[in-house]
A and B are shown apart, each in its own frame.
Chain A
């Protein structure tokens, strides 16, 4: 199914000069803006941005050459101090780029140029290969899936918890590329996201344990989500067990839950779609309040609520 060009989600990660397709304006996604530290910050105490170094996120511009040193005949001699002199247009450097935009610090704030940039890896983050296991911990809270892992098959997220934990139930609050916010949860909530979709992006279910699955054919419709757990009876949970995310290729990303503070609701994991790659991050934060407060704490503030646990749908 080819998306309508007028409504198709933007792809700021592939700013290719096309000759057979219609041009579309570059538009960084809010999630990318947020993680790069350029967007609004969610109103809570710590920093949920994955620790990907900000400079490595802006690869749309080739490693900016310094302004052309003025009269130097060998314009490639970079050992010279980059004196911001008036460039002389005799050098072999491409001067079509205004010199004012050359310093990378300011270049990051400008709109990404649609220049021919090498298709580089955006994140220098931990990866996980098929069949491998990666543990999310306080010191290594993130794993990034490749674009293939993020776009083939489905991603399964399962709360492997024994009954001793209590009546733990799983859910997720999500934001689609259209800006739509809501929640998906098996227990007493909406099982599909978007609700009433013929082919949902997110699906909540229960077999041996509660689980969520993401249809990765539609990953481009998804912007971000946060996986939460809550006690159905609102009695404090004795946190334990493990949240396991399994890729289509069988890689397992595991998040032990023992270290959570006592409470009835906790945000366990967040997933951001960054340039087509899923960044999976441990959050592990017990929330005072209920699902509504958890959603608000993570910036999903465009939801209207029927009560403290269920959105108006």
Chain B
């Protein structure tokens, strides 16, 4: 799927109850970048913003309070990181779930997403880990970005859709936090 493309998940796959959002990246030999990358999900309300700090699901907060969105400590299969979404458990107030990748910045070691060899977001069926869709190669468009909004799962009518965003941020997680209202 190209950037901006979307797919109607629950309409095309009846009986779909849960998703796995899988992140595949390759940093080559860049170990510091590898260890600085963070894959996260943001639960957004109708205004497109997180409702509180608990709507940010990442390695230090592995689940949203009602456990509709959970990050796995160990990804299963070939992904580096995975986040599971239980569609029925997503609160009605949550309109979309945005998945992001960012470089955790510390002063001495500046790394950017431009150093990534590969960066692909996949959507799997939560029941059998079957791949439903995957994004195009996103890494080729990165240069000085330190964060990217990869894609979003969102409500549309009574259905859930998935859209590839590929929106880069040169201000890193701070830029994403400002856009999506995450209280840092």
Q: Is A14 an interface residue (CB 8 A)?
A: yes
Distance, CA A129 to CA B184, complexed state (A): 7
* Min CB gap B113→A, angstroms: 15
CB-contact partner of B107 in A5, A152, A213, under 8 A = A213
Contact (Cβ within 8 A) B62 A1 = no
Task: Kindly list chain B residues whose C-beta atoms are within 8 Å of the C-beta of A153.
Answer: 104-106, 173-174, 184
Given contacts A147-B53, A199-B32, A220-B60, contact A130 B73 (CB under 8 A): no
B35-A1 in contact (CB<8A): yes
Chain A proximity of B169: nearest CB distance (Å): 14
Given contact pairs A2-B75, A213-B106, A198 touches B184 in the complex (Cβ within 8 A): no
- Using CB atoms, name the residue of chain B closest to A14: B62
Most chain B beta carbons < 10 A, residue from A21, A129, A148: A148
Nearest-neighbour CB distance to chain B for A185, whole angstroms, equals 17
For B56, give the chain A residue with the smallest CB separation: A148
Separation in Å of the A225 CB from the closest CB of chain B? Answer: 16
Q: B-facing mask of A117-161, CB < 8 A → 1, else 0?
A: 011000000000110000000000000001111111110000000
B183 near A146 (CB under 8 angstroms)? yes
| Selected contact of B38 from candidates A14, A213, A217, A248, CB within 8 Å | A217
- Taking the complex as formed, is B164 at the interface, i.e. its CB lies under 8 A from any CB of chain A? no
Q: Are B106 and A130 in contact (CB under 8 A)?
A: no
> Known contacts A21-B73, A198-B31, A248-B184; is A151 also within 8 Å of B106 by CB?
no
Given A14-B63, A199-B32, A199-B35, check contact A247 B184 (CB 8 Å). Answer: yes
Within 8 Å CB of B134, what residues of A?
none
Query: Would you call B67 and A22 a contact (CB within 8 A)?
Result: no
Shortest A249–chain B CB gap in Å is 3
**Min CB–CB distance B181 → chain A (angstroms):** 11
Q: How many residues of A contact B (CB 8 A)?
A: 39
Q: Using CB atoms, name the residue of chain B closest to A119.
A: B65
Of listed B66, B73, B104, B174, residue having the most chain A CB within 10 A? B73
B76 is an interface residue with CB less than 8 A from chain A? yes
A50 on the interface (CB 8 Å rule)?
no
Task: Confirm or deny: B182 has a beta carbon within 8 angstroms of a beta carbon on chain A.
Answer: yes
Known interface pairs A217-B36, A217-B38. Does A148 touch B62 (Cβ–Cβ under 8 Å)?
A: no
Considering only CB atoms, which chain B residue lies closest to A2 in the complex?
A: B74
Task: Name the one of B65, B109, B177 contacting A199, with C-beta atoms under 8 angstroms.
Answer: B109
* Chain B interface size range: 35 or more
0/1 interface trace, chain A 17-55, chain B, CB 8 Å (1 if under): 000111000000000000000000000000000000000
> Does chain A have a CB within 8 A of B29?
no
As a 0/1 sequence over residues 128 to 167 of chain B, the CB contacts with chain A under 8 angstroms (1 = contact) are 0000000000000000000000000000000000000000
Determine how close the nearest CB of chain A comes to the CB of B125; give it in whole angstroms.
Answer: 12
Q: What CA separation (Å) do A247 and B35 show in the bound complex?
A: 21
- Alpha-carbon distance between A199 and B74 when the two chains are bound, in angstroms: 21
A8 located at the interface, meaning its Cβ lies under 8 Å from any Cβ of chain B in the complex: yes
Whether A167 sits at the interface, judged by CB under 8 Å, is no
Instruction: Name the distance in Å between A3's Cβ and chain B's nearest Cβ.
Output: 7
Query: Does chain B have a CB within 8 A of A291?
Result: no
- A203's nearest neighbour on chain B, judged by CB, is B108
Taken together as a complex, chains A and B put the C-alpha atoms of A217 and B59 apart, in Å, by 8
Contacts of B54 in A (CB 8 A): 119
Asked if B95 is at the interface of the complex by the 8 Å CB criterion, the answer is no
Residues of chain A lying within 8 A (CB to CB) of residue B174: 153, 248-249
Q: A119-B67, A147-B61, A199-B35 are in contact. Are A2 and B184 (CB under 8 A)?
A: no
A16–B106 contact, CB under 8 A? Answer: no
Residues in chain B near residue A146, CB distance under 8 A: 53, 183
Most buried by A among B60, B61, B72, B183: B60
Once A146-B53, A147-B53, A199-B109 are accepted as A-B contacts, the answer to whether A20 and B62 lie under 8 Å apart by CB is no
Whether A16 contacts B70 by the Cβ 8 Å rule is yes
A215 to chain B, nearest CB (A): 5
Q: Can you give 6 contacting A-B residue pairs, CB < 8 Å?
A: A1-B37, A2-B74, A148-B60, A199-B36, A249-B184, A250-B184
| Chain B interfacial positions (CB closer than 8 Å to A) | 31-32, 34-38, 53-54, 56, 58-67, 70, 72-76, 80-81, 84, 104-109, 173-174, 177, 182-184
Given A1-B34, A1-B37, A218-B35: 13 more A-B contacts, CB < 8 Å: A16-B63, A119-B66, A129-B183, A147-B60, A150-B60, A152-B173, A198-B32, A199-B31, A199-B32, A199-B35, A215-B106, A217-B59, A248-B173
